[in-house]
Amino acid sequence: MAISPYLRELRAVVGTRLLFLPGVTAVVFDEEGRVLLGRRADDGTWALIAGVMDPGEQPAQTVVREVWEETAVHVVPERIVAVTTHPPNVYPNGDRTEYVDITFRCRATGGQARVNDDESLEVGWFAVDALPPLSDRQRTRIEWAQQPDAAAHFQV
């Protein structure tokens, strides 16, 4: 899995200890209403495209960058779907993280969906009624993103 120079430097100091990180998730729709997903290289599961913000980067910039880096698809963020904190996570290498995630609804504007880095095994467009196995959290964010003009979801 790719790791930014910033996170590599942090990990050199803190090791595998829990890091609380800002991240983004993209629920990307194409003109046919299909959702863009990637099959993760670290655990083989299908998921929405997501990533960690770099210092000085705006959340909307991060979502555009992450979708391009992972899938070669250009997007325009349309609105915020949710702001949530994910449960702590342990990666196969032992790194522990907890993410504050901003989920964006995005519209695809160009590019051809393909594996564009080492974070995905496969990338593809899926009809909402024919999604591969996804976690409940992933499915819920897709459902929220489909709601027209809905306010962002928050957990209180």
Model confidence pLDDT, tens digit, residues 63-101: 999 999 999 999 999 999 999 999 999 988 999 999 999
For residue 21, the enclosing domain spans 5-154
Place 1 in a pLDDT band, splitting at 50, 70 and 90: low
Q: How many CB atoms lie within 10 A of CB 75?
A: 27
Structure tokens at 147: 């709601």
Place of tokens 């899926």: 126
Instruction: Check: pTM over 0.75? Answer yes or no.
Output: yes
Average pLDDT over residues 14-29: 97
CA–CA dist 24, 8 (Å, integer) = 19
Q: What φ, ψ does residue 26 adopt, rounded to 5°?
A: -110, 125
Place of tokens 């910039």: 61
The predicted model gives 113-125 an average pLDDT of 95
pLDDT of residue 3: 84
Predicted local distance difference test score (pLDDT) of residue 92 = 86
Q: In the chain, how many domains are there?
A: 1
Q: Which pLDDT score, from 0 to 100, does residue 16 have?
A: 97
- Which CATH number does the domain housing residue 102 bear? 3.90.79.10
What are the backbone dihedrals phi and psi of residue 111, each rounded to the nearest 5 degrees, phi first?
Answer: 85, 165
